């Protein structure tokens, strides 16, 4: 259970300014319902002085996403567009009395929605810049530009912090090296040294018993579940047949655009944990013994 402040709980159970804003003249949309949190921010702006007269939101996501969206609308009402653009994701978190580290990405999404809405009002095409940088985290589709900007804006200094703020690195962990390279670059510009966490010692696996093998498979699945559950998805172990591990993707993960990448990340962890080549197969894609399975 996350440790939420009373203010977060209040804005979750009684969100301010939730719902459509019929006379909105600025709309910003970020995120994806199919892959997790999504936010639509609507503003009513006075053309005479660009003051935000009213603000409303519609969101799909966890309690922190709802609370962060509610807080954002309260913060920006009465401000000019330029003043509103100065609001940072940390300002949103501070307004709420803090957010759990694992939920800071919700405040980042609020700031991006605001930037999108202002661009919409001004007739500009807003780009989150994520498509302009190399894709670092394939599990959550986070690129180098977003990671670097978030590190700079929030003075981050570890892979764990980057994961909390952007989700990058929260899946299969194969992108940690790429995140560390970006951290090293930004910290060097600050005159600081980046000290990566020491890698875990790798032990040469011996021959596993059937029970030990099943337990390791279950441990990998359980490790992957929290990050997927945050986005209203889940993964469950269905069956193990030799080198073929059958899983079921649930909720938002079923049919998600990033499903293949997520399964690939889980499969990589399975291979490392078991010390053997295995294939992770979604149940919906096969009648169990499909042609593309690995021979036992």
106 is in an annotated binding site: yes
pLDDT at 128: 59
The one-character DSSP state at 292 is: T
What H or E segment, with its residue span, contains residue 51? strand 51-60
Q: How many domains does the chain have?
A: 3
**Residue 130 belongs to a domain:** no
Q: How many whole angstroms separate alpha carbon 262 and alpha carbon 260? A: 5
Whether residue 167 is found in the same domain as residue 264: no
We report the CATH number of the domain holding residue 91 as 3.90.1010.10
**Residue 175 belongs to a domain:** yes
The one-character DSSP state at 248 is: E
Q: How many whole angstroms separate alpha carbon 219 and alpha carbon 82? A: 49
226: domain range? Answer: 210-289
pLDDT at 292: 45
User: Does residue 198 sit in helix, strand or coil?
Assistant: coil
253 is in an annotated binding site: no
Q: How many whole angstroms separate alpha carbon 115 and alpha carbon 256? A: 26
Q: How many whole angstroms separate alpha carbon 147 and alpha carbon 165? A: 9
Whether residue 169 is found in the same domain as residue 247: no
157 is in an annotated binding site: no
Whether residue 144 is found in the same domain as residue 231: no
- State pLDDT tens for residues 196-225: 876 555 444 567 888 889 999 999 999 888
Whether residue 259 is found in the same domain as residue 281: yes
Residue positions annotated with a catalytic role: 35, 106
* pTM of the complete model: 0.56
Q: How many helices (H) and strands (E) does the chain have?
A: 10, 8
Whether residue 116 is found in the same domain as residue 151: no
We report the CATH number of the domain holding residue 250 as 3.30.300.130
Whether residue 109 is found in the same domain as residue 161: no
Extract long-range pairs of 277-281: CB within 8 Å, 24+ residues apart. Answer: 277/243, 278/243, 278/244, 278/245, 279/243, 279/244, 279/245, 280/245, 280/247, 281/244, 281/245, 281/246, 281/247
Whether residue 23 is found in the same domain as residue 101: yes
Whether residue 90 is found in the same domain as residue 115: yes
137 is in an annotated binding site: yes
- State pLDDT tens for residues 153-176: 899 999 989 888 887 887 667 788
CA dihedral for 223, 4, 16, 88, sign (positive or negative): negative
Q: How many whole angstroms separate alpha carbon 210 and alpha carbon 18? A: 52
Whether residue 155 is found in the same domain as residue 104: no
139 is in an annotated binding site: yes
We report the CATH number of the domain holding residue 146 as 1.10.10.1100
**Residue 196 belongs to a domain:** no
**Residue 26 belongs to a domain:** yes
**Residue 200 belongs to a domain:** no
**Residue 204 belongs to a domain:** no
- Residue by residue, pLDDT tens for the chain (296 residues) are 457 889 988 998 888 999 999 999 999 998 765 445 678 999 999 999 999 999 999 987 677 888 999 999 999 999 999 999 999 888 999 999 988 877 888 888 888 899 999 999 999 887 655 555 577 876 666 788 888 988 998 999 999 898 888 878 876 677 888 899 999 999 999 899 888 876 555 444 567 888 889 999 999 999 888 878 877 788 899 999 888 999 998 887 777 656 776 777 788 788 778 877 788 888 864 444 444 444 44
pLDDT at 100: 82
**Residue 197 belongs to a domain:** no
**Residue 127 belongs to a domain:** no
Q: How many whole angstroms separate alpha carbon 228 and alpha carbon 92? A: 24
Burial of 36 (0-12, 13-18, 19+ CB in 10 A): buried
């Amino acid at each position: 259970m996350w440790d939420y402040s009373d203010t977060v709980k209040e804005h979750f159970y009684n969100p301010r300014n939730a719902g459509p804003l019929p006379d909105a003249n600025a709309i910003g949309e970020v995120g994806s319902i199919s892959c997790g949190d999504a936010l639509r921010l609507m503003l009513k702006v006075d053309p005479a002085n660009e003051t935000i007269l009213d603000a409303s939101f519609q969101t799909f996501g966890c309690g922190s996403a709802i609370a962060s969206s509610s807080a954002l609308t309260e913060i920006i009402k009465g401000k000019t567009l330029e003043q509103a653009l100065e609001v940072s994701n940390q300002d949103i978190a501070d307004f709420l009395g803090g957010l759990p580290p694992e939920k800071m990405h919700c405040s980042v999404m609020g700031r991006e929605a605001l930037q999108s809405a202002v661009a919409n009002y001004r007739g500009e095409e807003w780009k989150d810049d994520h498509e302009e940088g190399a894709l670092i985290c394939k599990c959550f589709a986070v690129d180098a530009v977003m990671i670097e900007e978030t590190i700079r804006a929030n003075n981050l200094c570890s892979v764990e912090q980057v994961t909390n703020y952007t989700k990058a690195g929260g899946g299969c962990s194969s992108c940690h090296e790429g995140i560390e390279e970006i951290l090293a670059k930004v910290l060097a510009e600050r005159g600081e040294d980046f000290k990566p966490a020491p890698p875990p010692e790798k032990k040469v696996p011996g021959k596993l018993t059937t029970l030990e093998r099943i337990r390791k498979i279950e441990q990998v699945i359980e490790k992957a579940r929290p990050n997927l559950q945050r986005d209203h998805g889940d993964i469950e172990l269905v069956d193990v047949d030799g080198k073929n591990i059958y899983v079921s993707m649930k909720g938002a993960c079923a049919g998600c655009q990033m499903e293949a990448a997520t399964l690939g990340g889980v499969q990589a962890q399975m291979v490392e944990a078991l010390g053997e080549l295995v294939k992770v197969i979604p149940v919906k894609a096969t009648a169990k013994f499909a042609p593309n399975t690995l021979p036992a």
